[in-house]
Structure 1
Amino acid sequence: MKTFLRITKEQGLYLDYLCFATLAYTGMRLGEMLALKWTDLDFTKKTIRITKTYYNPNNKSIGYQLLTPKTKKSIRTIMIDDGLVALFKAHMREQMKLKMKQRLIYENQDFIFAENICHPRVMKQMVLRLQRLMKHLDVDKHIPPPHSFRHTHTSLLIEAGAGVMEIQERLGHSDINATMNIYAHMTKNPEEKTSHKFSELTKRSPLIGEVKLFRKTES
């Protein structure tokens, strides 16, 4: 992930870095991200409010719909870190410049991830941009469409020690079993680390004293 984001920062086109950094650092669905408006972002509280999803099966710039999320759990507020806040602020400044430059044709609809004259970036373009960036990576591995960033975010949450309920709330899973299935699939490495930590702890402060084995000798 670090390598990919570095390559994206160096080789990415307009909006690429912010898009993929947002997916990587929030775990939100691609449709949720593309539907975001500036009113959904609170710089003071460092939160993003997710209340809608972007639907555009034909990948036409003006043929999209903003729908309510599939489940109530998908409507949520998530925290973001200072680094992502700084990226959003920088993008807001750049977007304001674009609005002024294109003011005669710019139809402001308040979208964060707006292309050119206001319309949200289409999903197909995200896939194509990801494929372009992957060509710059020296990684012999197939990376599936942008939804894979959601799985990566989940695995990093687990590595950081987040609980199942916390992960469910952040990802907006309606069914705890969906979270549990991902959790079970990804916890092998943390379990190994936990076992290692326990072993190291007992070496420093033994729970079991030294045991001497005696065999009764025959007289």
Structure 2
Amino acid sequence: MPKLLPRRNLSGFAVQRSGSRIIRIEVTPMPIYKTNKKRDGLFLYTVRVNYTDKNGKAHGLTRTAVGAEAAKLLESQLTAEYKTKQVTPAARMTVGELVKRYLAAKETEVRRASVEKTQRIMNRYVLPTLEKERLDRLNRQKMQDWKLAVSALGLSLRTNKNIYSEFRAMLNYAVKMEYIAQNPLTAVGNFKDTDFTPPQEKLHYYTADEFLRYKAAALADAEAKGTLSEYAYYVFFCIAYYMGMRKGEINALRWSDINEELLTVRRSVTQKVKGESAVETLPKNKTSYRTIEIPAPLMEILAEYKKRLESRDAYRDNYRVCGGGEEGVLPDTSLSNHNVRYADTAGLAHIRIHDFRHSHASLLANEGINIQEIARRLGHAKIEMTWNTYAHLYPRESERSLSVLNKVK
């Protein structure tokens, strides 16, 4: 028969506040039992905790430890855990209900495109398996099972990490709102790369010479068609290369945002909000709201474009530069089609529209421009983002550092 080690009385309770209600969780004595079984030459001990939650429901939990010292440590850990364990009425809500509350809260804090992205991820990867699961029943095992289910879909590591981050953020919100005491997902960690992959994805961009070929092809195409709308596509890609702006920022750009040699990014446009063709929003982040210098070649292009618009009474200060009118936007599909056509005409490989932003940064990096200046022009929230993307484009800096070290002999 197992022996009961004499222990001190560990009765106690934890007082927690949930809104205006006080929750009392009682913890009864936790004896340590020594069994007759051994492992690695040490006796096995069992530690039991009995506790009553705020609803008066009794619970019991038994754990095993190897050796007396480990048993004492386990006892201490369980005591601390269950004296601070919080159970709130809100913890009974389901994951599906949490998703609704979380999305409603995000609507007031971020751009609608971000809310749409979160909703898509929840609908595809979280709700199918966890929609009816209560928050207070989420544990490490269920989180691990969820991760395995997502892994089985065969998605890229980047996509898996993005899904994990969105789910973790929602559960962090639940902790913040005191629906649950802790986030069970953090215990199992993010997705890991099980296979070797190059540390740096290859960037696709146009060099200065390649862009000049692309630019010439785009201008020739616009002149051949002879319309202002076609000329707008040519202007769009010139802005993308010379300014490094995001697609949404260029589409939202108005003539009033251009002041002589300066351009101010004040807003963005997304075309991916369900049920609406385009929605104007604030820039992506605080540093995305920026004023950047316009290079001389682009100033000439904009001046010529403005002159053409004025000749047809199609210019107003509050009109959008590329889309025309107060609400005009160049459609995503048309932009992609024009991009491919210009590249084909110039005999160049196709790159994405976003890669013109990479082209801008890569041109500056290859010329040794300070990484902080590049981050400023791009409107990156953190300079680490710029460095991690473009650091490998600084061969001259590595040569200079090696030259300095070689002199020490």
Question: How many corresponding residue pairs?
Answer: 191
1:37 counterpart residue number: 254
**Alignment CA distance shift 1:63-1:97 (3 Å):** farther
CA distance in structure 1 between the aligned counterparts of 2:301 and 2:249, rounded to whole angstroms: 18
Matches within 5 A, 1:181-196: 181-188=388-395, 190-191=396-397, 194=400
Matched AA of 2:269 = Y
Match of 1:95 among 287, 309, 314: 309
* Alignment check: 8 A CA contact 1:16 1:129 kept: yes
Of structures 1 and 2, the one scoring higher in RCO (CA 8 A, sep 6+) is 1
Structure 2 length normalisation: TM-score? 0.42
CA distance in structure 2 between the aligned counterparts of 1:32 and 1:52, rounded to whole angstroms: 6
Task: Note the residue ranges of structure 1 that are not aligned, 5 or more in a row.
Answer: 101-105, 209-219
Quote how far apart the aligned CAs of 1:195 are: 7.5
* Alignment check: 8 A CA contact 1:167 1:179 kept: yes
1:131 aligns with 2:340: yes
Match of 2:272 among 50, 57, 69: 57
* Alignment check: 8 A CA contact 1:109 1:118 kept: no
Matched AA of 1:77 = T
1:91-133 Cα distance to aligned partner (Å, 9 max, x none): 1121123336xxxxx9995111124896221222111100111
1:175 counterpart residue number: 382
Report the identity percentage: 25
**Is 143-152 or 2-11 further displaced after alignment?**
2-11
* Alignment check: 8 A CA contact 1:8 1:17 kept: yes
Q: Which runs of 4+ in 1 moved over 3 A?
A: 106-109, 115-118, 190-196
CA distance in structure 1 between the aligned counterparts of 2:333 and 2:286, rounded to whole angstroms: 27
2:329 counterpart residue number: 120
1:70 counterpart residue number: 284
- Per the alignment, in what secondary structure is the counterpart of residue 49 of structure 1? strand
2:360 counterpart residue number: 153
Quote how far apart the aligned CAs of 1:25 are: 0.5
CA distance in structure 1 between the aligned counterparts of 2:258 and 2:317, rounded to whole angstroms: 17
Quote how far apart the aligned CAs of 1:153 are: 0.7
Larger Rg: 2
Matched AA of 2:308 = E
**Is 108-117 or 148-157 further displaced after alignment?**
108-117
1:67-107 Cα distance to aligned partner (Å, 9 max, x none): 0012101000000112211211111121123336xxxxx99
1:83 aligns with 2:297: yes
CA distance in structure 2 between the aligned counterparts of 1:86 and 1:110, rounded to whole angstroms: 19
Task: Note the residue ranges of structure 2 that are not aligned, 5 or more in a row.
Answer: 1-210, 223-229
CA distance in structure 2 between the aligned counterparts of 1:130 and 1:78, rounded to whole angstroms: 25
User: Structure 1 or 2: larger strand share?
Assistant: 2
1:3 counterpart residue number: 213
**Alignment CA distance shift 1:17-1:194 (3 Å):** farther
Matched AA of 2:242 = Y
CA RMSD of aligned residues (A): 3.1
Structure 1 length normalisation: TM-score? 0.75
CA distance in structure 1 between the aligned counterparts of 2:397 and 2:331, rounded to whole angstroms: 39
